[in-house]
Chain A
Amino acid sequence: MPQVFSPAMNAVARSSIIAAVFLAGAATIAFGALYRSSFVTQVNNPRPQTVPFSHRQHVAGLGIDCRYCHTSVEDAPFAGIPPTETCMTCHSQVWTDAPILEPVRRSWDTGKPLEWVRVHDLPEFVYFDHSIHVAKGVGCVTCHGRVDQMPLTWKANTLRMSWCLECHRAPEKFIRPRDQVFSMEWQPDEPQETLGARLLEEYDIKVGQLTNCSVCHR
């Protein structure tokens, strides 16, 4: 039987083994990079909306409190997205002719709700509740970043399980006094360790259970 492979193929075979290992490694790294990239996590990617609502203008510029629009954030799992009526409270009087507010006026006239594209969207096998976090002193800014500087809203954190757990393992690194939850600028005036440890006690946060799977998957 004639030889199928010439002796030169030995080198090819050897190098292809190395190449396969190398390729697999490169693919893993590339996948890892992609998995963490903002293309996948959508972190820092502003979402275009039908009405270009700007938190920078309304929160930093006009000084409106988060709860004026996100009314249920203290009492419910869902933070609440303002109905058209809330926008019209002001925009029936100010900027009444602005073309960019046309969809708001149309929604008010027709009664058809405004559509917003979700910026944050946890998978549906995850349970999340705003009210408990607000009650235990986790600031909006800790999870959502400097919303008051966003001309269009974007995600400041991945909202991946590893991110939730980073805090659920050691909430004392992040919590603040309750009355500062809505502040975007608050800085602790004592070391975070001492403040965190004190608040942990004061708010009766039971750290041990916070990493149980059933807290978030129920």
Chain B
Amino acid sequence: MMLHNPRRSASKILRGLAGGVAVLALAGCHLDMWNQPKYKTLAKSEFFADGAAARPLVEGVVPFQVTTERNPRYSGVDEEGAFIPRIPYHVNRAFLERGREQFDIFCAQCHGRTGQGNGMIVQRGMKQPVSLHDPRVKGMPHGYYFDVITNGFGVMYNHAARISPRDRWAITAYIRALQLSQDARVDDVPEDRRDELSGTPNAPAASDANGGQDDHG
């Protein structure tokens, strides 16, 4: 990804003319302020061999959030290299909401909104992933999901550059919620909300905003 300006479009020349006509005789026509000798993000560069002003990381750098390489927050594994069985963040409703948002942006095209593995891209020829509700996948510890997002899995590319570590954990938490929701039973729903299950899906939801049910889910 590299961006370059179509060299000095007619627009600027004309505007230069407009502003400049009066001062032309005195100062000439300059566009120095339109195109200052600096790089905008991802600009083209004549200086570097690969032609891009944005430089790749020098080999061996450690992102500043990663205090120690073995911090399970950033690796998903403990000292022995086993996937950790917990989410190293406080999971509340806001965290799950964030997880859902990120899942729908980054995973749903392939895995489907509910994780069944039937997303749009799969319908267009992507290899079909195993459903996230498959017993084997479901049995995996939390750290496994973090690891798949961070390092990829089979033909699935890694998403480490696109999703921050915290959001990867939020997605993991949301996948867990999805898995629970798939074999939820009526008993799991609080008694006072069971009648919402039958019909009129949106009507009672209005009470949600001030219902103080934040700990639910």
Report the interface size class on chain B. Answer: 35 or more
Q: Which residues of B contact A (CB under 8 A)?
A: 1-6, 9-12, 14-15, 18, 33-36, 38, 40-42, 44, 50-52, 104-106, 109, 120-121, 124-127, 155, 157, 161-162
Q: Are A62 and B124 in contact (CB under 8 A)?
A: yes
Interface residues of A in 63-78 (CB under 8 A from B): 63-65, 67-68, 71, 77-78
* Residues of B with C-beta under 8 A to A82: 1
Q: Are B109 and A41 in contact (CB under 8 A)?
A: no
Q: Are A93 and B1 in contact (CB under 8 A)?
A: no
Q: Are A94 and B3 in contact (CB under 8 A)?
A: no
Contact bitstring A12-36, B, C-beta under 8 A = 1, else 0: 0000000000000000000100110
Q: Are A123 and B1 in contact (CB under 8 A)?
A: no
Q: Are B120 and A89 in contact (CB under 8 A)?
A: no
Q: Are B157 and A40 in contact (CB under 8 A)?
A: no
Q: Are A117 and B36 in contact (CB under 8 A)?
A: no
Q: Which of B11, B40, B109, B162 contacts A62 (CB 8 A)?
A: B109
Q: Which of A41, A93, A111 contacts B126 (CB 8 A)?
A: A93
The secondary-structure label for the interface of chain A is loop
A-B interface pairs (CB < 8 A), number: 96
Q: Are A114 and B109 in contact (CB under 8 A)?
A: no
* Residues of B with C-beta under 8 A to A78: 41-42
Q: How far is the CB of A160 from chain B (nearest CB, A)?
A: 10
Q: Are A81 and B1 in contact (CB under 8 A)?
A: yes
Report the interface size class on chain A. Answer: 35 or more
* Residues of A with C-beta under 8 A to B15: 35
Q: Are A115 and B109 in contact (CB under 8 A)?
A: no
Q: How far is the CB of A49 from chain B (nearest CB, A)?
A: 11
Q: Are A112 and B51 in contact (CB under 8 A)?
A: yes
Q: How far is the CA of A124 from the CA of B34 in the complex (A)?
A: 5
Q: Which residue of B lies closest to A182 (CB)?
A: B105
Interface residues of A in 50-91 (CB under 8 A from B): 62-65, 67-68, 71, 77-78, 81-86, 88-90
Contact A93 B155, CB 8 Å, known A65-B105, A113-B51, A124-B34:
yes
